Amino acid sequence: MSPTPFTLLFVLFLLLETITHLWLASRQARHVTKHRARVPDEFAEKIGLQSHQRAADYTVERMKLSVTRRVFDAMVLIAFTLLGGLEAINAFLISVIPNDFWRQLLLLGSVLLISGALQLPFSLWKQFKLEQKFGFNRMTLGLFISDTLKGLLVSVVLGLPLAAVTLWLMAASGPLWWLWAWMVWVVFNAFILFVFPTWIAPLFNKFTPLDNPELADRINSLAQRCHFALQGLFVMDGSKRSAHGNAYFTGFGKSRRIVFFDTLLGKLNPEEIEAVLAHELGHFSHKHVQKRMIFSFLLALVFFAVLGFLKNQIWFYQGLGVAPVINGSNDAMALLLFFMAMPVFTFFFAPIFSFFSRKDEFQADHYAHTQASSEALISALVKLYNDNASTLTPDPVHSAFYDSHPPASLRIRRLQELQAHNG
C-alpha cells in the first residue's frame, strides 16, 4: 500500500511529537544537572545539598526512562498502524470468529491487552529499579502482580460493557451515533466518579477513618469555614506501595471524602496538613473540578464528532495502514485508529492545558492563604518537595510545556508576597 497524503501527515506529526519530547527531556536533564551542585538560595536553609542532589539525580533518571518509553511507544504505534499490526490481528480474527460484533469486541480487547503487556516492562523497571534506587519503592512483586490482575479485572468489568454499547450505537443509531455514544461516555464517567471511592479504590488499598481527634477537629473546622460539606476523613495505606506522600479529595455528594496517605501524616504537622487541604478546598471554591469536567466533556464531544466523520472515510483507514473490511463492520478499527492517532495530532496543545492548570494552582494557593497559614503551606510544600525528591530547578521550557504545577521557587515566592502584603 503506497503512502497517502494522510500517511505523510501522520508520520510528520509523529516525528515532530517524538523529537519535541526528546528535546524537552534533554533540556530538563541538562538544566537540572547544571544546577545540581548548589541549592537555590530560597531553599538553602531548609533543604540540604545531599537532598537537592538526590532530587536532581531522580529527575534525570526519570527523564531517561521517559525518553526510552516515548521512542518505544512511537515504534509500537508504527508497528500497529503502518507496518500492518492491526491489519494482521483483524485478519486473524475474521478467519476464526464468524460473528461480526464479537470479532470487533475481541479486536478491541486484543489490542488493549497487547498494548498493556508491552508497557509492563516499563512499569516493572520504574517500580523496582528507579523507585527502588531512590528509596521510594515499598511494593513487593506479589503486590505488583495482584494490582495488575485487579486492574485488568476492573477494566474488563467496566470497559467491556462500555465498548459493547459503543459498538452497538455505531452500527444501529444512524449518522448521529457519535452524539449518543458521547452521552453514554458522559454517564459512564459520572458513574465512575461516584463508585470509585467506595467500590473501586478499596480493591487496591485499605481505608480507615482518621484516628486523630485534634487533626479531625481542625479539618472539620476548616471545611465549615469553606462551606464544604465533608462526608468523611480517611487514611489510606499508601506506605505499602510507596514512600511518596499525598492527600486528595474524591467523590461527589454522599461519597465525597478526604483521603490521606499514611506516609503524609508522618511528614506534616496538623497546621501544615490544614494548609495543604485549604489549597485543595481552593480548587472546589473556584470550581476548578467542575470547570475541568465540563471542558473535558465538551472536548470529548468534539472528538466524537470528528470520529463520526472519519469513520466513513476510506483515506483515514488506508492512511494508517489498514484496508477497510468490505463484508463487515470497521467500527472497532475506527475506534482504535482514532484513539491511537489522536494524541499525535493533539500533542502540541499540552502547554495550553498546562498553563491553565498552573493558573488554577496559583488561585488555590491564594485561597489557602485566606483560610489557613501561608507560612504553614510554604513549610508543607518544602517538606513535600524534599521528601518526594521533586527538583527545585526545572528547565523553564520543559516546565511550561508539561508541568501542571508551578515551579517550587515561583510558587513559594508568590505565597511569601501574599504573606508580606498582609503582614
pLDDT in tens, 363-416: 999 999 998 888 999 999 999 888 888 999 999 999 999 999 999 889 988 988
* d(C-alpha 409, C-alpha 42), whole Å: 7
Q: What is the dihedral of CA 141, 145, 150, 153, to 10 degrees?
A: 170
Going from N- to C-terminal start, the domains of the chain cover: 1-137+302-423
Q: What is the pLDDT of residue 73?
A: 97
C-beta of residue 63 within 8 angstroms of C-beta of residue 23: no
More confident residue, 185 or 224: 185
pLDDT the model gives residue 3? 83
- Half-sphere exposure of residue 393: CA atoms within 13 angstroms, side-chain side: 26
Q: 361 a known binding residue?
A: yes
* Lookup result for grid cell 508580606: 420
Strands 257-261 and 233-236: parallel
- Any idea what DSSP says for residue 348? G
What is d(CA 165, CA 163) in angstroms, rounded to the nearest whole number? 6
Task: Give the confidence band of 216 by pLDDT, cuts at 50, 70, 90.
Answer: confident
Q: Is 52 annotated as a binding residue?
A: no
Give residue 251's pLDDT: 67
**Strand ranges inside 92-165, DSSP E:** none
Cα separations (Å) of 362 from 86, 112, 250, 385? 44, 38, 21, 17
The pLDDT of residue 423 is above 60: no
pLDDT value at position 119? 96
Name the amino acid, one letter, at 149.
L
Q: In what order do the strands lie in the sheet containing 207-209? A: 207-209, 233-236, 257-261, 247-250
Confidence of residue 252 (pLDDT cuts 50, 70, 90): low
β pairing state of 257-261 and 247-250: antiparallel
pLDDT at 70 over 90: yes
For residue 55, the one-letter residue type is A
- Does the annotation flag 283 for ligand binding? yes
pLDDT, mean of residues 95-121: 95
Q: E strand or H helix at 281, and its extent? A: helix 270-285
Gap between the Cα atoms of 411 and 80, Å rounded = 42
**Which range is least confidently modeled, 21-30, 261-270, 339-348, 408-417?**
261-270
- pTM of the shown model: 0.90
Does residue 244 register a pLDDT over 90? no
Q: Which residues are known to be catalytic?
A: 280, 365
